[in-house]
Chain A
Amino acid sequence: MKLFPTGTITGMWLVLKRLFRSYPNDIQENMKAGSLFKATSPQVASERASVNQKGLITVEYPEVKLKPPENFRFIPFLIYEPVLDAAGKPIVDAATGKEEIGVERCTACGICAKVCPPQCIWIVRAVGDDGKPKPKAAEFYIDIDVCMNCGMCAEFCPFDAIKMDNDYELAGYERHVNHIYDLPTLMKSTTYYESIKPTDYAAEEAARKAKEEAKAKKPAPAAKQATAAASAAKAATPTMQEPPATE
């Protein structure tokens, strides 16, 4: 062994550099928020957690929360279209604070229950007065303790009726009742869906509109064109042919 541990000291120097890079930077950012002892503002927080950040990249959860990316997936929910008032705004039920349920998209086709890898979706199909099955779920359960958040149900639902949520704070004191989500718990409006996944929502609505228009005009050939246009739009994918110059 060498008598003088130059390597070890070099390592320590690196740590010291990091320290200087991190803390003044931290203080600066907090000052931006107004006070040294205030939690980081959401804007500063998202800058902080980016690749260009040289100092600390963490934020103080739960005071500060980073917005999850749009693709983020956690526990599915079912979508309904709310009842709209004259001005086209959803009517909010005063008692529950939820938007009133207009159209439930789920038709109880059972595809999500069939694709679900841990088999945690349970569906009872509604039956009409005539004893024939109706395209509607009478009961719909997701056991969120079993759900592995894989997103396959949302991937394969043909009616855009089940989507993955962005809400990840689900801790509870009890699991046998609270963690079995039933139909009322699962139902969330399109307004909410739009707020968490705007891009997906816009694309789905556009596709639906195109389909309906095509259906209204000429049946077969136009529909083909519309889907062709949609897939062409999809094919225009972001690529990187010319990367920015770097040294």
Chain B
Amino acid sequence: MAVLSPDQVQPAEYSKAFDAESVGALLKQGVPGAVTSASSAGIVVDSAKITDVLEWLKNSPDLAYDYFNSVTAVDWADKFEVVYHVASTVRGGPPLAIKANLNDKENPVISSASSVYYGALQQEREVYDFFGIKFAGHPNLRRIFMWEGFEGYPLRKSYKEAYYEQERKPFETRWDQGHHIIIEDRVPWHDNVIYPKNFDATQFKQIREIVRVAPIIEQGDSKALKTQPIVVSVGPQHPSTHGVFRMNVTLDGETVMALEPIFGYLHRNHEKIGERNTFYMNIPFTDRLDYLSGMAMETGYVLAVEKMLGIKPPERVEYIRVIMNEFTRIVSHMFGGIGQVYSDLGAFFTPIVIYGLEERELVLDLFESASGSRMMCNYMRFGGVWKDLPEGWLEVAHELAFNRLPRVADEMETYLVKNEIFDIRAKHVGVLPPDLAVSYGVSGPMLRGSGVKYDVRRADPYSIYDRFDFNIPVGTNGDIYDRMWCRIQEIRESIKILQQAIKTIPGGEIQAGKKAYSFKVPKGDVYAHIEAPRGEFGWYVVSDNNTTPYRYHVRAGDFVNLATMEQMCVGHKIGDMVGVLGSVDIIMGSVDR
């Protein structure tokens, strides 16, 4: 497959944004009878025509909704609502919400969008797992986070989890008669598992067949000696799998023939917890998603709720957020996106990881002195931040941004660009062509490494990113090398943003309005997305005018990116597979949620 050069895929102009109403009007002509209603909240379409609608949106030359952000569902009292978000890498602009209602609550079925966007393959499995909504035509519709024998659909409102106490927090048992009990004693069935009614453990068989769902690109050298294929389970406890992640790899000799990622070992149903929590309580929980970039996670979530509440943070807060986010990106790339990949390629704990860690220490010290914690910062607030920056903070940040980090970035580039060993290991390995990357909804340095110039900070600017001068680095080949190269360049661009922000940060308030711990959020839904170090992270939050979210969904960039593992690995040696996985740069906290 030909790889496009950056110019070919570079978006000409981002200015042409369509709102949902005008897209709805166009869609009415394009797919007659599909649109039920169109408002700023999104386009409601006939569930029977969903694939036609998506197909049309994708292929329409003006609209060009080629990018699949997310699919999720909402369990309403009388129906299931399946919500799609699609965007355009060509045109930029905010994502468009498409909603389809399934009135049959007993047996909800909708046709799969995977024939239009490959990105739907993995995310539809998630919706099936959590809501029991069947996607007709999906080639591999199985549970993804839960195991095959799991009983129930956890995100349905009727489902009660093991530690269930009450529909929403705060729990009444805590005050004013809060006699403490150990939480484990609460589990009603005492071992945390319920089995389906006719479950027989002796008969249970795990599904092991390899289902190949998308075209495989043959790459690398597979002419080696032919041997009998075997299936090797890599992980979940393996140093190169970056946490508890497993891959079922079919090997022919040392060559990867097929690969299936297996998720769920770190699954804790963040979304269900989020629906029990009040809006405010969710902020510290978001830190536990991508724990190498907690500040970015918080920013995404507070942006979503701020949108719903209609509050705008003061200037100083916007600057602080940008500074925190860019510091996060730098250290996350240095340690996770670059250092760890070297580790995976065989340079185990050699200088590049350690040097990256050193800088990370210094930045985490900054986070700690501002927010009180190094990783679980809990710093962002709705319309503000927790506390103003302490004295001397900006001076240290200044020293880092102007002197220290640029120096270290230079050092890192020396290892990366000139190193012959790295060249051999990383060039032309794990290639992901741009069209596939877009169709899969891949984001972050992975997407840009494949040559697609798409960065949420530019395409749909949030906070005050539109005020800063920075470039979006793109690769050409879409291999490990290009991803790493993009990350190095991104570190430089982040330093540039930091320098501008630190120079111009104004004084003033750090909180808009009065802080409250419990408040009602007006009815409605919102999707807010940010460019986190590991790609596009989006928060889809639905409120039914209550103190807790009715629906809280996180679109994790690295979870979506992982769907392309098979495409990138088939034909390569198993040693390269480890490097490819490293270059995807995953954090299981956000992959499994």
Interface residues of A (CB under 8 A from B): 1-2, 5-8, 10-11, 14-15, 18, 49-52, 57-58, 68-73, 108, 110-111, 113-117, 119, 121-125, 133, 139, 141, 143, 146, 148-152, 155-156, 164, 176, 180, 234-240, 243-244, 246
Q: Which residues of chain B come closer than 8 Å to A117, judged between CB atoms?
A: 169, 277, 281-282, 284-285
| A-B pairs, 7 with minimum CB distance | A7-B418, A122-B178, A110-B175, A69-B369, A117-B281, A73-B372, A150-B284
Give 7 A-B contacts (CB < 8 Å), ordered by A residue.
A51-B400, A69-B365, A110-B175, A113-B174, A114-B175, A133-B176, A240-B394
Contact check, B390 vs A69: say whether CB atoms are below 8 A apart.
yes
Q: Report B18-43 CB contacts with A as 1/0, cut-off 8 Å.
A: 00000000000000000000000000
Is B175 touching A123 in the complex (CB atoms < 8 A)? yes
Q: Are B394 and A1 in contact (CB under 8 A)?
A: no
* Residue B466 CB within 8 A of the other chain: no
Give the contacting residue for A71; candidates B284, B358, B372, B518; CB below 8 A: B372
Let me know if A123 and B178 touch, CB within 8 A.
yes
Q: Any chain A CB within 8 A of the CB of B79?
A: no
Residue with the greatest number of chain B CB neighbours at <10 A, chosen from A72, A117, A152? A117
Question: Which of B563-589 touch A at CB < 8 Å?
Answer: none
Binary contact readout B73-108 vs A (1 if CB under 8 angstroms, 0 otherwise): 000000000000000000000000000000000000
With a cutoff of 8 Å between Cβ atoms, the chain A residues found around residue B464 in the complex are none
Distance (Å) between the CB of B249 and the closest chain A CB?
28
Residue from B176, B509, B515 in contact with A123 in the complex, judged by beta carbons closer than 8 Å: B176
Report yes or no: B420 in contact with A2, Cβ–Cβ below 8 A.
yes
Query: How long is the Cα–Cα vector from A58 to B404 in the complex, in angstroms?
Result: 17
In the complex, the answer to whether A237 meets B281 with C-beta atoms within 8 Å is: no
- A residues near B174, Cβ cutoff 8 Å: 110, 113-114, 116, 119, 121-123
Contact B393 A238 (CB under 8 A): yes
Indicate which residue in B177, B180, B282, B285 contacts A180 across the interface (CB closer than 8 Å): B180
Q: Are A139 and B178 in contact (CB under 8 A)?
A: yes
Task: Of the listed stretches B119-127, B230-238, B483-491, B499-507, name the one at the interface; the rest are far from the partner chain.
Answer: B499-507
Chain B residues, Cβ within 8 Å of A110 = 174-176
CB distance from A81 to the nearest CB of B (A): 24
Instruction: Check A51–B362 contact: CB distance below 8 A.
Output: yes
The smallest beta-carbon distance between A230 and chain B, in angstroms, is 14
Cα(A192)–Cα(B436), bound, Å = 60
List residues 396-412 of chain B with CB under 8 A from any CB of chain A.
396, 398-400, 402-404, 411
* Contact pick for A141, options B177, B180, B414, CB 8 Å: B180
Interface string of B184-221 (1 = CB under 8 A from A): 00000000000000000000000000000000000000
Contact B424 A1 (CB under 8 A): yes
Cβ 8 A contact of A72, one of B358, B368, B387, B508: B368
Least CB distance from B225 to A in Å reads 24
Q: Which of B175, B355, B388, B415 makes the CB contact (< 8 A) with A125?
A: B175
- Minimum CB distance partner of A177 in chain B: B182
Which chain A residues lie closer than 8 Å to B509 at the CB level? 235
Distance, CA A108 to CA B175, complexed state (A): 9
Chain B contacts for A244, CB-based, 8 A? 398
Query: What distance in Å separates the Cβ of B88 from its nearest Cβ neighbour in chain A?
Result: 37
A10–B418 contact, CB under 8 A?
yes
B347 to A: closest C-beta gap in Å: 10
- CB of B469 within 8 A of chain A? no
Complex Cα distance A12/B174, Å?
59
Q: With an 8 A cutoff between CB atoms, is B116 at the interface?
A: no
CB distance from B106 to the nearest CB of A (A): 34
CA distance A139 to B285 in the complex (A): 28
Interface residues on B, range: 35 or more
Binding site for A on B (CB under 8 A): 169-171, 173-180, 182-183, 277, 280-285, 316, 351, 355, 358, 361-362, 365, 368-373, 376, 378, 386-396, 398-400, 402-404, 411, 414-415, 417-421, 423-424, 502-503, 505-510, 515, 517-518
Which of B170, B388, B421, B510 contacts A113, CB < 8 Å? B170
Contact partner, B178, options A52, A73, A124, A246, Cβ 8 Å: A124
Pairwise interchain contact B378-A151, C-beta atoms closer than 8 A: yes
Does B505 contact A152, Cβ atoms closer than 8 Å? no
Residues of chain A lying within 8 A (CB to CB) of residue B420: 1-2, 5-8
Contacts of B403 in A (CB 8 A): 246
When chains A and B are docked, how far (Å) is the Cα of A57 from the Cα of B180? Answer: 43
Q: Separation in Å of the B391 CB from the closest CB of chain A?
A: 5
Given A2-B420, A115-B281, 17 more pairs with CB closer than 8 A? A8-B421, A14-B414, A14-B415, A52-B399, A57-B358, A57-B361, A72-B373, A111-B517, A114-B174, A116-B174, A117-B169, A117-B282, A152-B281, A152-B284, A156-B517, A239-B507, A243-B402
**Could you say which residues of chain A place their CB within 8 Å of the CB of B171?**
119
B414 touches A11 (CB 8 A): yes
Q: Are A237 and B394 in contact (CB under 8 A)?
A: no
> Closest CB-CB distance, A176 to chain B, in whole Å?
6
> Closest residue of chain A to B179, judged by CB?
A124
Known contacts: A57-B362, A150-B284. The answer to whether A240 contacts B398 by CB under 8 A is: yes
Chain A residues within 8 Å of B515, by CB: 155
Residue of B nearest to A108 (CB): B176
Question: In the complex, which residue of chain A has the Cβ closest to the Cβ of B178?
Answer: A122
User: Does B372 lie within 8 Å of A72, measured CB to CB?
Assistant: yes
CA–CA, A68 to B372, complex, Å?
Answer: 9
**Residues on A with beta carbons closer than 8 Å to the beta carbon of B280:** 115, 152
Residues of A within 8 A of B370 (CB): 71
Set of chain B residues within 8 Å of A122, measured between Cβ atoms: 173-175, 178-180
Indicate the member of B178, B370, B394, B510 with the most A CB atoms within 10 Å. Answer: B178
Give the residues in chain B near A119, CB-CB below 8 Å: 169-171, 174
B502–A240 CB distance below 8 A: yes
The residues of A that contact B402 with a CB separation of less than 8 Å are: 243, 246
Complex partner residue of A6 from B178, B362, B400, B418, CB under 8 angstroms: B418
How far apart sit A113 and B175, CA to CA, in the bound complex (Å)?
A: 7
A68→B388 contact, CB < 8 A: no
Nearest CB of A to B266, in Å: 16
Minimum CB–CB distance for B205 against chain A, Å: 37
- Closest residue of chain B to A121, judged by CB? B174
CA of A236 to CA of B423, assembled, Å: 52
The docked-state distance in angstroms from the alpha carbon of A155 to that of B378 is 12
Residues of B contacting A155 in the complex (Cβ-Cβ under 8 angstroms) = 386, 515
Question: Chain B contacts of A5 at CB under 8 A?
Answer: 420-421
Q: A38 to B396, alpha carbons, bound, how many Å?
A: 29
